[in-house]
Amino acid sequence: MKVIGVVSQKGGVGKTTVALNLAYALARRGQRVLLADTDPQGGVGLSLQRLQPGPGFAGYVARKLPLESVVVKTRLPEFDVLPMGNIAIQDTHALAARLVDGAELRRLVSDAGPRYGILVLDTPSGFTGVTLGAMRVSTAVVSPLQAEPLAMRSASQLLEVLAALRAEGATLTLGGFLLTMLDLHNADSLGVAMEAWSDLPNAVVFQTTIPRDPLFLRASGAGVPVGLLSHQPPPVAALFEQAAMELEARIGLAKDEKDDGPIPLFA
């Protein structure tokens, strides 16, 4: 099983949106995906429509509930969600303390391994304890890079953290920076994207970019991935399918990389 940590130094960059839509797109492509929310504030749970309160990940950690009893099934058989569950803000500190060393997350990886091909971890912003715990168990990390001033500061920070974790012996890799909230008509936004494309190796920047689009707000308001906004998904939903394809190639999950040649157009 591949574990994908979705991480960012900065808050409000679209991390939960990326985690949710990327996980959904991976499942749509046939991967067996579990999206787990490690943010004690439960960003994923807040983002989803009609998600009934339940013990969630907090219950899995605190009460040692079996994984299958805390995951929530979706309309896609390949896609399950593990929301944070109900937790009072007073308890977030205690929960975070339990996640810092990665032991509980390793248990999650171990339990999820037989059932899923990909575990996507949504994390709190900043490289604090919980996020470091998630990174320690991750195969690769994907970092949304908000195409706005200051974004590149967080890119440098992530590279520093990756270097430090690898010096510790971790084997995780950088799945890539995914430019989000890109506004091609705004010079500042475009400037950030240009800097990312010119200064960072191609291998670490997704070719796919996620635009600043009100449809994401609509999807967030409706509590669904953009691909479920209607029976005819908007074009931006395809961007996450594209990002999912890129990610599969980056982490070695592409189903068949052999070039099977041109396929005849006519039957």
Partner 1 sequence: MAPYRSLPDAETLSRLLYRAGVTSNGPAGPFAAPSDRISILAAEPSDGPRARAASPVSAGAPIAPRAFGETEHGDFSDVIASAPPEEPADSGSLPTIAEMSEADLQASIFGPHLESMPTEERLGAFVQWLMGGTGAFAAFVADTEGLPLTNRNAPESYLAAIGPLGRAQETIARFVPSPEAGSSTVELDHQNVLQVIWSDTAAGRLAVGLVLGGALDQTMVRRIRKITQLSMSIRGEA
Binding site for partner 1 (CB under 8 A): 9-12, 15, 39-41, 43, 58, 61-64, 87-98, 100, 124-129, 132, 149-150, 152-157, 159-168, 173-174, 188, 191-192, 194-195, 199-201, 203-204
Cβ(53)–Cβ(84) under 8 Å?
no
Measure Cα distances from 113 to 27, 108, 232 in Å. 16, 8, 33
Q: How far is residue 45's CA from residue 74's CA, in Å, rounded to a whole number?
A: 13
Minimum distance of partner 1 from residue 39's CB (angstroms): 6
Minimum distance of partner 1 from residue 88's CB (angstroms): 6
Nearer to partner 1 (CB atom), residue 22 or residue 95: 95
Nearer to partner 1 (CB atom), residue 30 or residue 63: 63
Question: How do strand 140-146 and strand 79-82 relate by DSSP bridges?
Answer: unpaired
Minimum distance of partner 1 from residue 219's CB (angstroms): 17
Minimum distance of partner 1 from residue 264's CB (angstroms): 40
Nearer to partner 1 (CB atom), residue 163 or residue 184: 163
Residue 227's SS3 state is helix
Minimum distance of partner 1 from residue 174's CB (angstroms): 5
Nearer to partner 1 (CB atom), residue 10 or residue 32: 10
The DSSP line for 70-98 is H-EE-SSTTEEEE------HHHHHHHHHH
Nearer to partner 1 (CB atom), residue 41 or residue 76: 41
Nearer to partner 1 (CB atom), residue 76 or residue 190: 190
Nearer to partner 1 (CB atom), residue 62 or residue 76: 62
Task: Tell me the angle at which helices 103-112 and 129-137 cross, rounded to the nearest 10 degrees.
Answer: 40
Q: How far is residue 35's CA from residue 261's CA, in Å, rounded to a whole number?
A: 35
Minimum distance of partner 1 from residue 19's CB (angstroms): 12
CA dihedral 160, 162, 167, 169 (to 10 degrees): 170
Cβ(87)–Cβ(40) under 8 Å?
yes
Q: How far is residue 20's CA from residue 48's CA, in Å, rounded to a whole number?
A: 9
- The single-letter DSSP state of residue 226 is G
Minimum distance of partner 1 from residue 43's CB (angstroms): 7
